[in-house]
Amino acid sequence: MFDFEMLWSNFPYLLKGAVVSLQVTVFSIIFGIILGLFVALGRLSGARIIRFVCAAFVEFIRGTPLLVQIYIVYFALPQLGVQLDPIPAGVLAIGINSGAYNSEIFRGGIQSIDKGQTEAARSQGMTYWQTMRYVILPQALRRIIPPLGNEFVTLIKDSSLVSIMSVHELTFRAKLVAARTYNYFTMYIGTAIIYFIMTFITSKLLGLLERRLRISD
């Protein structure tokens, strides 16, 4: 049965885990956005080898489970001499995974901008990078806010996977309490509610940002 008093007594402990989950999510999305932008530009590059490498990266990451990618970063890389602490390893793995998906979001946003704007900017003497920075990307960013927001919400939930590395985030702490009290129903239902609250608030804030950007147009 659901024991509200037990959940409430452990709430501060779980809340600390939720903070860690959000920290992992924020750093992962920042890394994923930067990586995704560069991969997207690589996929739009005129150099065939760069397009091939970036496309292969995206297909491999999107075609393999995030859990396996975390295993590779945390358990396999040390055998090659690359040792990372749990949280940096989690941020790296989740950030790389997010970067692959973000690259497709960026690529779609960039390609949605009319080519005439690129031609007009280049005709006025702008370089390729100046055109991207001052003309194309500012417009594309407004269009990709919704899918990027969805990716951010997804990462909040995916951050639970770093619990396999004993990172004391929300899921890991819920598991510890459940193992101590044997009340798995209460702890995991309570954990699900906390995740829902975090994703719901995030979705509402992103929706507000999207509406403000739409008004500013």
Distance CA 140, CA 65 (A): 29
Span 93-139, pLDDT tens digits? 999 999 999 999 999 888 888 887 877 877 787 887 788 877 888 88
Domain count, the chain: 1
- Give the residue among 176, 177, 170 at the shortest CA–CA distance from 191: 170
Q: What is the structure's pLDDT at 217?
A: 57
Across residues 134-162, what is the average pLDDT?
87
**Per the structure block, which two tokens stand in for 183?**
């009340």
Across residues 1-17, what is the average pLDDT?
89
- 133, containing H or E segment: none
pTM confidence score: 0.88
Which residue segment(s) compose the domain that 112 sits in? 4-216
3 has pLDDT over 90: no
**Per the structure block, which two tokens stand in for 86?**
């749990």
Q: What is the mean pLDDT of the chain?
A: 90
In total, the chain counts a number of residues equal to 217
**CATH at 195:** 1.10.3720.10
Q: What is the structure's pLDDT at 215?
A: 63
